[in-house]
Amino acid sequence: MTFQTTPEKGRFITFEGGEGVGKSTQLARLAGHLRDCGVEVVTTREPGGTSKAEKLREFLLSGRAAPLGPLAEAALFSAARADHVATLIAPALKRGAWVLCDRFADSTRAYQGANGGVDAKTLALLERAAVGETRPDLTIMLDLPAQEGLARAASRRDGCEAADRFENEAPSFHEELRQAFLAIAESEPERCCVIDASLSVDGVARAVRALVHDRFLAHAAQAAQ
């Protein structure tokens, strides 16, 4: 199967969800599938994706930014995003590539907004400044009870690495995150689709693939009419 992409603009797909929901695995599976379909795919992640943003990632996830407070953390995630969008994402979309990104602006809305960390208006201003017109065409929200995700994340580390800045937050924070992602999906049903991440890896991958085919093949068929 071949996807039609316009030379002026590719597709921007983001994967979102709490800790341990399997975003990276599913992103890699979808990227492989799209490449098999002849699509140019760029895979990336947030925070990160460029050398400057990766430096900010290291600072943020080590917890060294936490004493600066939630607004400063939100601003730093947004600064990393602004560089990522300008340097990597927007140019790739412009040349017609599909960009698959592990987390994007919804993570700032959910994580930095959780527990009343930063108010929604401020987060919206930061988001607009960081992303401009570069908004996802599709956001895949992988959903899992918070405790299950945390257990998966811990077993993935297998005692080799310490939990990062946000994994260390209280269970109530993680449950709140889950609700925040679900609320975003409910408020933007055109863009977001929730997938049950408790299915097997293959089951989730099939659901993701079906969703992407539906969204973009239906779109291509309509455009051709």
Q: Which of 26, 107, 134, 139 binds ligand TMP (CB under 6 A)?
A: 107
Site membership for ligand TMP, residue 178 (CB under 6 A): no
Q: Which of 5, 43, 44, 108 binds ligand TMP (CB under 6 A)?
A: 108
Cβ burial of 27 (10 Å; 0-12, 13-18, 19+) is: buried
The H-assigned helical ranges of 109-170 are 120-131, 146-157
Q: Return phi, psi of residue 168, to 5°.
A: -75, -10
Contact 35, 100 (CB under 8 A): no
- Which lies closer to ligand TMP via its Cβ, residue 45 or residue 178? 45
Q: How far is the CB of 213 from ligand TMP (least distance, A)?
A: 26
Interacting residues with ligand TMP between 35 and 74 (CB under 6 A): 45-47, 61
Q: Which stretch binds ligand TMP (CB under 6 A): 6-14, 99-107, 131-139, 214-222?
A: 99-107
SS (H, E, C) 4-23: CCCCCCCCEEEEECCCCCCH
Q: Which of 166, 181, 197, 205 binds ligand TMP (CB under 6 A)?
A: 166
Site membership for ligand TMP, residue 26 (CB under 6 A): no
Interacting residues with ligand TMP between 116 and 145 (CB under 6 A): none
- Which lies closer to ligand TMP via its Cβ, residue 5 or residue 20? 20
CA angle 213, 34, 201 (to 5 degrees): 80
- The site that binds ligand TMP (CB under 6 A) totals a number of residues, namely 13
Site membership for ligand TMP, residue 77 (CB under 6 A): yes
Q: How far is the CB of 37 from ligand TMP (least distance, A)?
A: 26
Name the residue among 104, 81, 113 with its Cα closest to residue 177.
Answer: 113
Strand-pairing partners, residue 101, are 14, 44
Beta strands per DSSP E along 61-147: 98-102, 138-143
Footprint of ligand TMP (CB under 6 A): 45-47, 61, 77, 102-103, 107-108, 111-112, 164, 166
